[in-house]
């Protein structure tokens, strides 16, 4: 394990040698890199720990000071909640954190209100990933804000209802024209089935489960959750200690 950790740290340092961030995700990467280095040295070298922690804080402050200049994707980590998590870790409860949280809430509500022509599995999956991350954050730290949480959940439930037929077929895929990975784009000429936690329909199952666990009530939440859960049960079969996807071509 020590060798693995050392290898990770060496790779981070190698990456940092020529790292020049040009946008929000890349700048936030720098915050994370320095923070990881600080944690790595926390028990062995307090000077390096403090040094890298200050580097991380400096980069985070640059983001906060230039927030309006960035085109920030609503990802669960590369988005606004990523900033909120880092502020919580580095500064704790503070006014800056509250400002970011309110910014997250306001921006995500605008996105929901303005979102039209939804196509869940062909180009809009980052949107779901982002909202899943935001809801996860608010359910964890601010489950008293029920109106906001329920509005977001209702929006996700409505999206699922609009495209509910997709789980009855083999169409849970990212079409080739929307694939950004050049290797995948070449390999999967028709696209590929996407059931990942980052970009797949499991985003629904995860956030609905989290809401249920925290006793959040929402119209059709249980019904939609059960439909997705049934889909996953039917999608996979257990054989010889291996889960195999059901063959929809049969």
According to the model, what pLDDT value does residue 160 have?
75
- pLDDT of the residue at 18: 85
Rounded average pLDDT over 12-32: 84
Phi and psi at 182, nearest 5°, equal -60, -30
Q: Which alpha helices (DSSP H) does the chain contain, by range? A: 2-17, 24-41, 46-65, 80-90, 95-114, 125-141, 146-162, 182-187, 202-213, 221-235
With a pLDDT cut of 90, the percent of the chain lying above it is 18
Give the residue with greater pLDDT, 55 vs 89. 55
CA-based nearest residue to 62, from 72, 51, 70, 71 = 70
Nearest to 114 by CA among 155, 82, 146, 149: 155
- pLDDT at position 192 is 72
* CB distance 193 to 118 below 8 Å: no
* Distance (Å, whole) CA 35 – CA 28: 11
What digits encode the pLDDT tens for the residues 191-250?
Answer: 776 665 555 677 788 899 999 999 998 899 999 899 888 877 776 654 444 444 444 333
Do the strands 192-193 and 236-239 form a parallel or antiparallel pair, or are they unpaired?
Answer: unpaired
Nearest-angstrom CA–CA distance, 56 and 33 = 8
Q: Please report which confidence band the pLDDT of residue 138 belongs to, taking 50, 70 and 90 as the band edges.
A: very high
CA distance 88 to 96: 10
Judge whether 204 and 121 are in contact, CB under 8 Å: no
Burial class (CB in 10 A: 0-12, 13-18, 19+), 2: exposed
Is pTM, for the whole model, over 0.85? no
């Amino acid at each position: 394990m020590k060798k693995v950790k050392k290898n990770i740290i060496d790779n981070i340092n190698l990456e940092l040698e020529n790292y020049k961030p040009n946008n929000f995700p890349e700048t936030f990467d720098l915050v994370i890199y320095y923070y990881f280095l600080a944690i790595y040295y926390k028990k062995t070298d307090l000077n390096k720990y403090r040094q890298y922690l200050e580097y991380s804080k400096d980069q985070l402050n640059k983001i906060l000071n230039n927030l309006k200049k960035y085109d920030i994707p609503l990802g669960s980590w590369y988005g606004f909640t990523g900033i909120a998590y880092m502020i919580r870790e580095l500064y704790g409860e503070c006014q800056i954190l509250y400002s970011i949280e309110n910014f997250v809430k306001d921006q995500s509500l605008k996105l929901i209100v303005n979102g039209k022509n939804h196509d869940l599995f062909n180009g809009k999956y980052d949107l779901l990933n982002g909202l899943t991350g935001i809801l996860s954050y608010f359910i964890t730290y601010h489950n008293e804000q029920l109106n906001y949480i329920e509005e977001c959940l209702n929006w996700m439930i409505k999206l699922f209802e609009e495209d509910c037929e997709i789980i009855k077929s083999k169409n849970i895929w990212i079409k080739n024209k929307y694939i950004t990975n050049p290797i995948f784009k070449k390999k999967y000429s028709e696209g590929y089935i996407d059931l990942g936690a980052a970009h797949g329909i499991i985003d629904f199952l995860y956030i609905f489960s989290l809401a249920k666990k925290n006793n959040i009530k929402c119209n059709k939440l249980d019904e939609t959750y059960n439909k997705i859960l049934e889909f996953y049960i039917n999608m996979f079969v257990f054989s010889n200690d291996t889960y195999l996807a059901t063959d929809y071509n049969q």
